[in-house]
Amino acid sequence: MTQRPGNQLFDAYFTARDMREVFCDHGRVQAMLDVEAALARAEARVGLIPATAVGPIENACDASLYDFAALGEAIATAGNSAIPLVKALGRQIAAADAEAERYVHLGATSQDVMDSGLVLQLRQALTLIENDLAQLADSLATQAQRHAATPLAGRTWLQHATPVTLGMKIAGWLGAVTRSRQRLRELKPRLLVLQFGGASGTLAALGEQALPIARALAEELQLSLPEQPWHTQRDRIVEFGAVLGLIAGSLGKLGRDISLLMQTEAAEVFEPSAPGKGGSSTMPHKRNPVGAAVLIGAATRVPGLVSTLFSAMPQEHERSLGLWHAEWETLPEICGLVSGALQQARLLADGLEVDAARMARNLELTQGLVLAEAVSIVLAQRVGRDKAHHLLEQCCKRAVAEQRHLRAVLGDEPQVTAELSAAELDHLLNPAHYLGQAQVWVERAVAEHNALTV
């Protein structure tokens, strides 16, 4: 059986199929060919080339006509992908119309074709990511509202703190997703712009027709025309990479929380189950957080890739040596990892399994200690902060030493019972009565989400 090169064993796990198609060899080549076809149309519109040349050029701008393996070999000598592609394109056109071949790639440079082609790919990638984020946000908003009043132990420094609600925790994930969606909307006008500058960025080869052609080319590609070419000004794509890094990190936080909640000792929230999902090669009982692992893995890998984009920013003069090259596979890899994390996050959010009874039992693991603050706050208003804090601290130590519930210890302490009735103590030591603004945070996060969706 013939083996195809590549990391296909892991592709389905770490990246989404649609994103792989955007950045596969066919996707890259087709994007550059789309730029070449649009350039011919634009130059014909302003009268630089005859209209009869457009059809033969467009017909040749079909990625399926080209040998990617041969292009790959040629790139190793040429130094970029556009040089051998334009040569192959010229041969393809000449075979049908030798006259039309004279007008292909007129006035453009290799980086114009590669960067504008990349922007076309990023537009597709951006659409996929925005759609996934919107669907993820919808699911998180639904889950946050569903569990807005479901208490569980808050955890600080990995230890039980005061109670929170699962809805509040999910609302935190939702808020991060909403902010990322806002960032993508804000950067889109800066990212989706044409690259067209010719040899050194002046478009001198096109003379007085340069700007009309640039405008027509931008219209043909449905991109904005920037104030000037950006061959060595890479802030646009680095900004996009940085926002994708934020998305990866936020999804990693979601995955980390779920994986910790899935631990045997917690067992409060689970990824959705499916046949064969999360098993072990040796332990039949295992249910591993395999979706969360993708989120955490992406959050671990993406920052290094984003740092490569930042490192490649100080590019030399009007065309970079090596720094531009460092971007070629880096940004597509970031897009792929984020797409895979989003794919898994959507599955998690859609099918989240919650054990509210286990949450309630876990809240009692400390036998009331997690609500010591609630008692201390009320008692402080009656006997003073320092005295109340010291008194509760002593009661907590006694409860631990005697392995008794804090409610029983407080009920035996005259300095406490002199100020707080049995009913007050029962109320204060009920987790459902010490959730603060948790439900308000859910409402606000969902409102932010809804405002963005409209």
CATH 3.40.50.300 fits 369-428, yes or no: no
pLDDT at 274: 66
pLDDT at 181: 98
Q: Among 6-10, 91-95, 314-318, name the one with the lowest average pLDDT.
A: 6-10
Q: 10 falls in which pLDDT band (50, 70, 90)?
A: confident
Q: Which fold has domain 110-193+230-365+437-454?
A: Fumarase C; Chain A, domain 2 (1.20.200)
pLDDT at 309: 98
Q: 8 falls in which pLDDT band (50, 70, 90)?
A: confident
What is the distance between the alpha carbons of residues 70 and 29, in angstroms, rounded to a whole number? 13
CATH 3.40.190.80 fits 12-108+200-221, yes or no: no
| Residue 3 confidence (pLDDT) above 70 | no
- Assess whether the region 110-193+230-365+437-454 and the region 369-428 belong to the same CATH fold: no
Nearest to 430, CA basis, from 376, 364, 365: 364
pLDDT at 1: 40
Two structure tokens written together for 384: 């003073």
| Residue 367 confidence (pLDDT) above 50 | yes
**Per residue in 223-269, pLDDT tens?**
999 999 999 999 999 999 999 999 999 999 999 999 999 999 999 99
Q: 454 falls in which pLDDT band (50, 70, 90)?
A: low
**Per residue in 60-108, pLDDT tens?**
999 999 999 999 999 999 999 999 999 999 999 999 999 999 999 999 9
Domain residue spans in the chain? Answer: 12-108+200-221, 110-193+230-365+437-454, 369-428
Average pLDDT over residues 105-118: 97
Alpha carbon distances (Å) from 430 to 220, 268, 371: 65, 19, 8
pLDDT at 278: 53
**Average pLDDT over all residues of the chain:** 94
344 burial class (0-12, 13-18, 19+ CB within 10 angstroms)?
A: buried
| Residue 282 confidence (pLDDT) above 70 | no
Average pLDDT over residues 348-356: 95
158 burial class (0-12, 13-18, 19+ CB within 10 angstroms)?
A: exposed
Active-site residue list = 280, 319
